[in-house]
Structure formats: structure tokens, C-alpha cells
Amino acid sequence: MTQFALIRHGSTAWNKEKRSQGQTDNPLDQEGREQAVLLAERLSSESWDAIYASDLGRAHETAKIISERLGINEIHLDPRLREMGGGQVEGTTEAERIAKWGPDWSTLELGREAAEAGTIRGSAAIEDICKEYPDGRVIVVSHGAILRNTLRGLVPALDVSTKLSNTSITRIEKKAGSWACELYNCSVHLNPAKDSI
């Protein structure tokens, strides 16, 4: 059985501005770094064999903060874990998109990567990592849309309509050839005070 913690990167300035990031290579903001520290602390109570990450800066930096806390020296960067390509939409807000292409902008292609393409590349990356660690526990730091599309491929019955929060954990495992999700979009580590109430 292989177990995965699928993690969305920490927050960025564009997240706060609600700008589509896609494959634009933005860094974490200060809050994003703080989120990653809290996440790393949560993950440190468990044993992990490896960390994989998207090669985009915001995911790589999140993974680096985790790896330093866990004492895992190597981060395996895989471009297949990059966010979905946003084409002409990258860098725009919803209001800007409506102004430019109208209220039905989301029905237009605009050079965006198709959901099915994300499902194929994301699923392939996870399956390949699974082969490397057939009985391992692996952290994967990636992005919201590619992770949700990957989950659509691996666990088709899972409801992925809720967008993933920054530094949320989604746990999946492969057992006897099939995938299951035991936790989706959990970010309790960002509110540590609530645990003590």
C-alpha cells in the first residue's frame, strides 16, 4: 500500500487578488510561508519516505519548508505536477475576464489546458511515484486545479467540487490496485488555537 499526502502550495499575492495563476511562476507571500511552516509541523508527527513537487516556485518553496522540518534532503521536482495552463486567462481577475470576453468567458478555450489533459498528466505522475515507492508514504506538493483533475482520474467517485485551500492536505492511498481518498482538503493546521477549545 502506498500512501500520499497531496498538498496545495501556500498562498501568493495573486491568490489574494483572485488572479488566475496557471503556470505563471509566482513566489509564496509571507502568509504562504507561515502556512507552510504550520503544515510542516503537522506532517512532522508522521514518517515520510519522499517529497515530490511541481517545479513552479510556489510549490517548490512550500516543499522546501516541509523538507527542512522533516529532515528530508531531496525534493523530486516533476513538471507534470505543474498547475493547469491558463492560456490568456493567466494574470486576470474574474472582473477583468468578464470585461474582456463577456460573462460566458469560461465557455471559451482561450488557450487553456483541457481538464482531461490535466487528469492524464497528473494521474501518470502519481502512478509513476507509486511504482517508485510501492509501500511508501509520499508527500506531493502541487496546485489546486491539477490536483483536483488528478483526483478525478484516480478516485472518480470522489466529489472534488470544493476548491482546495492553500496548504490543505488530501490523503489518498493505493491498495490492491485501486485508489481511495480518506481525507479531502483538510487545513486544520492553519487554526491551531481551535484544537485547544
Contact of 86 with 106, CB cutoff 8 Å:
no
| Catalytic pick among 61, 83, 90, 113 | 83
Rounded CA separation 49/76 (Å): 12
Of 71, 65, 107, 116, nearest to 89 by C-alpha is 107
Any catalytic annotation for residue 31?
A: no
Of 175, 147, 152, nearest to 53 by C-alpha is 147
Residue 174 corresponds to which cell in the numbers above? 493505493
Q: Name residue, grid cell 481538464.
A: 115
Any catalytic annotation for residue 46?
A: no
Point out the residues that are catalytic: 9, 83
